[in-house]
A and B are shown apart, each in its own frame.
Chain A
Amino acid sequence: DIQMTQSPSTLSASVGDRVTITCRASQSINTWLAWYQQKPGKAPKLLIYKTSTLESGVPSRFRGSGSGTEFTLTISSLQPDDFATYYCQKYNGYSKTFGQGTKVEIK
């Protein structure tokens, strides 16, 4: 099975900072990668699918890139509402494995 590894596990940043989260697949997943945001006590929310396609209503400060085995989620200017945990998910094939998550904390 393909494993997904995110880094860092925790990230401390300030409002206005540019933030980058990395997700690595143990083998190529082409561009079949999604990113989710989750806040405490809430269901995950889809941000980006197919590596770089922004879900409707998601602010343009979120950007996804990559292909094959290495992917990134970039938040260009961190806003107060962005402090949350972020997960990548690979979805080629019949397994839809998540990364372990990256918690973005207030510095």
Chain B
Amino acid sequence: EVQLVESGGGLVQPGGSLRLSCAASGFSFNSYEMIWVRQAPGKGLEWVSYISTSGSPINYADSVKGRFTISRDNAKNSLYLQMNSLRAEDTAVYYCATFSPYRASGDWGQGTLVTVSS
């Protein structure tokens, strides 16, 4: 059974940093591209970042470019999102999801809440 478990969310002050993790199990993690998606309270889904199976290429939404860094460790079956210079508008539930050109984002984690507030 595919499992994606996000962790690392919490309360952080504006300008602060946070590192999210996504632990994958039940599938060949190194065969799947991955994405991060976020959802601000009461708002829609926003794609945040993409990473290929090998770690390159990667891509970011304009709203996080230069502040967030996506990475993965295939040996540890883990995906990461380093978030720096956090702003109030980054407050959201962050989801990790698999991605395949053959099945889009078929598997999702349960999400982790990031709150940016003083």
A contact residues vs B (CB 8 Å cutoff): 1, 32, 34, 36, 38, 43-46, 49-50, 55, 85, 87, 89, 91, 94-101
Contacts and interface: CB of A to CB of B under 8 A. Distances in A.
Given A49-B103, A94-B59, A43 B47 contact: no
Interface in B81-118: 95, 97, 99, 101-106, 108-111
Given A44-B108, A95-B47, A101-B44, 20 more contacts: A1-B62, A36-B45, A43-B95, A43-B108, A43-B109, A49-B103, A50-B104, A55-B103, A55-B106, A85-B44, A87-B44, A87-B45, A89-B45, A91-B104, A91-B105, A94-B58, A96-B99, A98-B46, A98-B47, A101-B45
B106 A98 contact: no
B57 interface: yes
Interface in B1-58: 35, 37, 44-47, 50, 57-58
A99 B61 CA distance: 14
A97 B44 contact: no
A87 to B, nearest CB: 5
Chain A interface main SS type: loop
Interface residues of B, number: 25
Contacts, number: 66
A87 B37 CA distance: 13
A96 B44 contact: no
B50 A89 contact: no
A5 B97 CA distance: 22
A49 B44 contact: no
B45 A98 contact: yes
Interface of B: 35, 37, 44-47, 50, 57-59, 61-62, 95, 97, 99, 101-106, 108-111
Given A49-B104, A91-B104, A95-B50, A43 B110 contact: yes
A84 B101 CA distance: 25
Contacts of A46: 103-106
Interface hub of B44, B57, B99, B103 (most chain A Cβ within 10 A): B44
A67 B49 CA distance: 25
Residue of A1, A32, A55, A94 ringed by the most chain B CB atoms within 10 A? A94
